[in-house]
Structures are given as structure tokens and as C-alpha cells.
A and B are shown apart, each in its own frame.
Chain A
């Protein structure tokens, strides 16, 4: 309906979906052992040699699945939060959940100080995310202003950041410190189905929480007061979005570390194609987020990074300039 739209939402979903499938296949070829397409397919079906089967099924597959899921969560959450807060600068980090999950992870690394309990790190991150979520729920239950929610998020973020600094400050060993820093840079290296099993339930619960929130976000375009007169239960909507994104983003941080810019940039990118209607942005943002994270993860495995490039760093290095470019391109329509 909107002349300025380049493509229909359905068309965009189709293009992104196809691109995602193709990229997922491509992602199967890259890695410490480069595989051909044939080898990857054979490995998928378990018909390659034993080593290839293991590489494909136990290393490549969970990594690809996690990149897709985490990217989708970040993109979708970004679009949701920008809609709820009616602020194009909102991202999944705005509520302080990412920082709290990082704090949980860093504390776990500190307590472990050896790799013996490194498998507990995701649990530490989830615990941090859940504590932050509980705080946010307490706040959004009694407060009806979105501004308070943003400020509370800033407060929780700052508190978690201070906590992270404190823990790092008392890191018993430079190796521990390095482990903390590397973890916070985000990565999908050496992930297994075990990580997938940990993350998926929280992501699914989050998805259930926010299902059907798009209509309320659309109504919110006209301001909180008018949205209420259109029959939107604002308190409930806010609670659902806060809890849903907190659970899913918490799980993402737990398995992939803190990855910025996906949630912030992806919705802007989608808007450039299909306009600003909040509900229509949600699904394409999930697809786009998945695609972007998958591509970024492939880049970390390219020879140029000599195997040391971290996912969060790649996203930041690519994401920030893209974000600036989009802001310059769309500043007209944003007034």
C-alpha cells in the first residue's frame, strides 16, 4: 500500500528465507576442515567417512543452528523493543538483560577459574538474565511509563557493568581475565547440541510470551493513550515483551556471549525495504538477524581472522558502519 516500499513483506520474507537456506549450506563448508558441498551433504545424511560425519553433525550443524536461532532472537527482539519503546535506538541490550547475563557468566568463570566447570558458564549467564528479568517485571508491574522502563534498563545495565568490572578486577589469574574478555566478545566456536538444548527451551518460552504482540505495537504508534482506547492492555503487553525478550536474549547471551548491533541494526535495515509498521517488521527482522549472524560467523572462520576473530567483534565492526549508513539514508523520513 505504501508507495515508498520497495518490496512486499511477503516478498522480503521469501528472499530472506531463500538467502538464509543458501547461507546455511555455505556455512557448512567453512571451518578448520574445509568441506566440499558433496562432503557436507553426505555428512548431513551420515554417509561420509566417520570424521566428516562427526564434523558435520556434531560441530557444524549445532553451530549453524545456534547462529540462526541467536540471530533470529536478536533481530526479533530488537524489532519488538523498538516498537514497544517507540525508539529506533532500542536494542536487546536496552533492558540490561544482556549485561546481567554477561555478569552471571563472568562470575561463573571467576568461581571456576579452571575449565573444569566451564560447562556451567551458560547456566551462570541464564541465572543473571533471570535475575534481571525478575527486576524488570517488578518494575513494569507497578509502573506504566515506558521512560521508567528504559531508565531501569540503563540502571540494571550499569549495575551489571560495574559488577563485571569488579569481578575482573579481582580475577585470580591473567588467564581467567582473558577467558572472561574472550567470552564477552561473543563466539559460536566449539558449540554442541548441548548448548542448543540449553538455549531452545528459553527461546521457545520467550516466543510464546510475545506471540501476537504485533497488533499492540502497531496501536502504540499512535501513543500510549490512544493505544489504550484501541483496546490494548498496555501493562500486559509490556510485561509480555519484557519477559519474552529477556528469556530469549538471556539464552542467546548464555550460548553465544554478548553480541551487539544485530538487534539494533537489523530492524532499520528491514524498514528500508518494507516501511515502518512495527508488526510487519517482526518476522523479517528475525530472518534478517539469522542471516546476518550466520554470515558474521562464516567471516570468523575465514583465513583472514586466523581463527582468532570473535563473532561479537565482527558484528560490531560491520554493524556500526552499516548503522551509520542507514541513519544517514533514512534521516529524512525520521524527520
Chain B
């Protein structure tokens, strides 16, 4: 499946020396990183490390103090709101649905960036919607009211909404946070599946096992600074976990997969 052309191409996202400040508090402090399609990037770090703020800065939801953000050759802030909306789909953490809308209507909202207010949806729009519904397996309850669904079903519907946009980059903020283990695995698998040569993703998460199994690359933020950037197995070292999270972990190997469990707080 090819990404629908957004008119600006879907080049790499480059962030250079990005600083975001709330009042006198530096939330992001001189970040340098690159995002590209074809990989699912896990964004990990302690609470308050600036993970969500990084996504919000890329989305244009917060004011950037200094630094550059570009997609290909284009500066992100120079894009019109609609253009930026076509580039990034955003799955907010616990995003609300204010009206009792049907599943179908909610997923259709994913196509808003592609239509002006006067357009009715085209065949292409419907194809994207149907494909997103199929991928996430919510076809069985298209007509149900979103507010009446269980947390797991609802999370899949919200993902379908984000996927319907067919944006080159999907940002998900703790999409598995309030889900049971079954839905957590399913959510991560779905996020991983949507990645191909025209689609990339960034997912903020706290579960390090899910992160290392489903993400192609991990970015570790601590205190607004990027402290590690690389393959999960290279990044999640004992030293890093101790210095960033202040924990010691137990590890074991199950076939090719390795697992870690937080054991004690460092220094105890």
C-alpha cells in the first residue's frame, strides 16, 4: 500500500537543537534526532522527561523556543495547519469523544485533513476508512456508539481513526496505557504492522518489554535531553536503566526474545 501523496512528500523528519520552555522550565533541551518512515520508534523515559512535549512540538501544539524541525527540505512551522495534519496522525493519550457518536463516524474523522469543509467524502476516503476498520478489526461494531464500548474496543476505534488518515507518520501517546495484557499486545502489533516504506510511527510508552519487542528503534529522553538513540538491545543496558529510571532489572532469555523485569530501586 502506498502512502497517499501529501503534496510535500514524506521525507525524513529532522529535529535540530530543539528547545521548548514552559515558563522558566526547560521541558526539551537541545534535542537532535531523526525520524523516518519504515520504522516504529519507541519514545521512553521517566515521567516528565518531555516525551509528550516532543510529539506536541512536532505537531505544532506547543510553542518552540528555539531549534529547527524539518520534513525533507521543508520547515515544519512553515506548513499550513492542514498540511501538517496530513503529515502526522496523532493518537492522543485517553483522547475524549465528546458526543455519543457511532464507530463509523469517529473513524471518518480521520479523513478531515484531506477534505475541505464543503467536500463530501470520496471513494478514496471510504477506502481508507474501510481499510483502517478492517486492520483494527472493529468492523463488527461500526454502528455501535463509541461511548458504550469497552476500553479495549474503544482504543482500537481510536487507532482506526488515526490510521484512516493514512499519514506518513503516526504518533501515539501511551496507546497501551490503560489496556489489559491482551489488548496491549494487540495494540503494539497493530502499530508495528502499519509501518512500511511509506509509513512510520512514534509511540510513547512505559512498558520496556513491549518497547523492545515491537519497536525498531528506541529514543530515551531524560530531563528534556536525548540520552540514547538506537536499537532496543543496544539502548536498554543496565547502566542506562539505572541512570535514567533508577532501577535494577532481572533479565532472562526465552528463545530469541529477551525480557527484563524491574527488581529494585537503585541504591537500596
| B residues in contact with A220, CB < 8 Å | 98
* Minimum CB–CB distance for B101 against chain A, Å: 6
* Minimum CB–CB distance for B15 against chain A, Å: 18
Contact with B81, one of A212, A215, A228 (Cβ below 8 angstroms): A228
Binary flags per residue of B77-112, CB closer than 8 Å to A gives 1, else 0: 000011111101110100111111110111001101
Binding site for B on A (CB under 8 A): 1-4, 86, 212-216, 218-223, 225-226, 228-233, 275-278, 333-335
Is B115's CB within 8 Å of the partner chain A?
yes
Question: What secondary structure prevails in chain A residues at the interface with B?
Answer: loop
Cβ B142 vs Cβ A1 within 8 A: yes
| B residues in contact with A276, CB < 8 Å | 99-101
* Minimum CB–CB distance for B196 against chain A, Å: 22
* Minimum CB–CB distance for B205 against chain A, Å: 19
* Minimum CB–CB distance for A13 against chain B, Å: 15
Cβ A218 vs Cβ B118 within 8 A: no
Given contacts A218-B109, A223-B95, A229-B90, contact A275 B85 (CB under 8 A): no
Is B21's CB within 8 Å of the partner chain A?
no
Chain A's closest residue to B93 (CB) is A225
Write 17 A-B pairs (CB below 8 A) sorted by A numbering: A2-B105, A3-B102, A215-B112, A215-B117, A221-B109, A222-B95, A222-B96, A222-B106, A223-B98, A229-B90, A230-B113, A231-B86, A231-B112, A275-B100, A275-B101, A276-B101, A335-B147
* Minimum CB–CB distance for A80 against chain B, Å: 13
Cβ A1 vs Cβ B112 within 8 A: no
Is B124's CB within 8 Å of the partner chain A?
no
* Minimum CB–CB distance for B37 against chain A, Å: 18
> Which of A86, A218, A220, A278 neighbours the largest number of chain B CB atoms within 10 Å of its CB?
A218
Q: A223 vs B82: C-alpha distance in the bound complex, in angstroms?
A: 17
Cβ B81 vs Cβ A1 within 8 A: no
Contact with A214, one of B102, B117, B142, B145 (Cβ below 8 angstroms): B117
| A residues in contact with B116, CB < 8 Å | 212, 215
Q: Size class of B's contact patch? A: 35 or more
Q: A233 vs B115: C-alpha distance in the bound complex, in angstroms?
A: 14
Cβ B97 vs Cβ A229 within 8 A: no
* Minimum CB–CB distance for B63 against chain A, Å: 12
* Minimum CB–CB distance for A303 against chain B, Å: 43
Is B59's CB within 8 Å of the partner chain A?
yes
Cβ B59 vs Cβ A229 within 8 A: yes
Given contacts A212-B118, A218-B109, A231-B84, contact A333 B95 (CB under 8 A): no
Contact with A212, one of B82, B84, B88, B117 (Cβ below 8 angstroms): B117
Q: A221 vs B157: C-alpha distance in the bound complex, in angstroms?
A: 14
Is B256's CB within 8 Å of the partner chain A?
no
| B residues in contact with A2, CB < 8 Å | 102, 104-105, 143, 145
Q: A131 vs B84: C-alpha distance in the bound complex, in angstroms?
A: 37
Cβ A222 vs Cβ B81 within 8 A: no
Contact with B99, one of A1, A212, A278 (Cβ below 8 angstroms): A278
Q: A65 vs B115: C-alpha distance in the bound complex, in angstroms?
A: 35
Q: A220 vs B83: C-alpha distance in the bound complex, in angstroms?
A: 18
Given contacts A230-B109, A232-B112, contact A225 B61 (CB under 8 A): yes
Cβ A333 vs Cβ B90 within 8 A: no
Q: A221 vs B60: C-alpha distance in the bound complex, in angstroms?
A: 20
Given contacts A2-B143, A212-B118, contact A277 B101 (CB under 8 A): yes
Cβ A230 vs Cβ B85 within 8 A: yes
Chain A's closest residue to B84 (CB) is A231
Contact with B88, one of A86, A229, A232 (Cβ below 8 angstroms): A229
Contact with A3, one of B98, B143, B147 (Cβ below 8 angstroms): B143
| A residues in contact with B113, CB < 8 Å | 230-231
